[in-house]
Amino acid sequence: MKIKHVFMIVIASILSIPTHANTVKVYAAASLTNALTDISKQYQAQYPKTKIVPVFGASSALAKQIEAGASSDIYFSADLDWMNYLVQKQKISGKQVRPFLLNQLVTISPRQLNIPFQAKPQFNFAGAFQGYLCTGQMESVPAGKYAKQSLIKLNWLNALKGRIVGTDDVRAALAFVERGECAVGIVYKTDALISQKVKIIGTFPANSHHPIIYPIALTQQGVANQDARLFEQYVRTNSQAKQIFQRYGFVLKQ
């Protein structure tokens, strides 16, 4: 009986060992999709034993999933608010948070339209186009939150009531404008640059919204994962990774 008992303990121990010890799960803002996908492929080419699994979506939705217990090693947010939310929920240690990238907020339209834009309170933005304006959900998605701040600052929000479509993430807003379902969109500069179907018609002044800062951090789970620690460091410090971010229009935070 004793031998059998020891045998069962050994078997249980073996089964409890993670089957993908070299897997790194990264929860990242939708606007990071292209850059982080390229960086992940580059990293895996150099370190083939490590599998990077990115999960892209709105920073708000990803934070809620991590709070609910979703398996994540790294959280890469499009704003500081949702990062701080997870710090408060004790899913991330504050000392792990690294503000890393900067972005700009722009207005886009389908290429074939000619919509004027002036980032001035006296400009009649609501009267400059017909149809809808798309951006992230204004109460939760970072791009939408920044958009709301700018629209309030320029005194344009009230005139647009009933014409604003809030999407699940910034890439969804981009897709609506690409299809012509929205005449204009408010997205990040990096999103506009990847599309051949839209054009930037204007940039919101930096002082019209909170600084667009992308912080990255290891989660409590990630701290215990050596592969996650190595990949997080690579993303922040590798010169080739930095070049990829810059190629997509991100600015490295000093």
Residue in 57, 26, 20, 43 with CA at minimum distance from that of residue 217: 26
Claim to verify: residue 126 and residue 176 sit in the same structural domain: yes
Domain boundaries, position 10:
2-102+212-252
Q: Are residue 126 and residue 200 in the same domain, yes or no?
A: yes
Residues paired with residue 109 on neighbouring β-strands, in sequence order: 199
Residues 43 and 227: their CA atoms lie apart, in Å, by 11
The count of domains in the chain is 2
Q: What is the pLDDT of residue 150?
A: 98
pLDDT at 21: 57
Same domain, 157 and 225: no
75 and 153 together in one domain? no
- For residue 63, what is the domain's CATH number? 3.40.190.10
Q: Are residues 136 and 186 in the same domain?
A: yes
Do 248 and 183 belong together in one domain?
Answer: no
Give me the tens of pLDDT residue by residue for the chain, a chain 254 residues long. 444 444 334 333 333 334 355 899 999 999 999 999 999 999 999 999 999 999 999 999 999 999 999 999 999 999 999 999 999 999 999 999 999 999 999 999 999 999 999 999 999 999 999 999 999 999 999 999 999 999 999 999 999 999 999 999 999 999 999 999 999 999 999 999 999 999 999 999 999 999 999 999 999 999 999 999 999 999 999 999 999 999 999 999 98
- Angle CA 232–28–237, to nearest 5: 25
Query: Can you say which residues are annotated as belonging to the binding site for molybdate?
Result: 31, 59, 143, 170, 188
Residue list, annotated binding site? 31, 59, 143, 170, 188
Structure pTM? Answer: 0.89
Based on the domain organization, do 80 and 118 belong to the same domain?
A: no
- Tell me, yes or no, whether 169 and 232 share the same domain: no
Separation of CA 184 from chain center? 21
Residues 84 and 124 in one domain: no
- Please check whether residues 116 and 163 belong to one and the same domain: yes
If you search the block for the tokens 């299809």, which residue do you land on? 179
Same domain, 129 and 191: yes
Question: DSSP letters along 240-252, please?
Answer: HHHHHHHHTT-EE
Same domain assignment for residues 113 and 204: yes
pLDDT of amino acid 254: 81
Is residue 164 within 8 A of residue 65, CB to CB? The reply is no
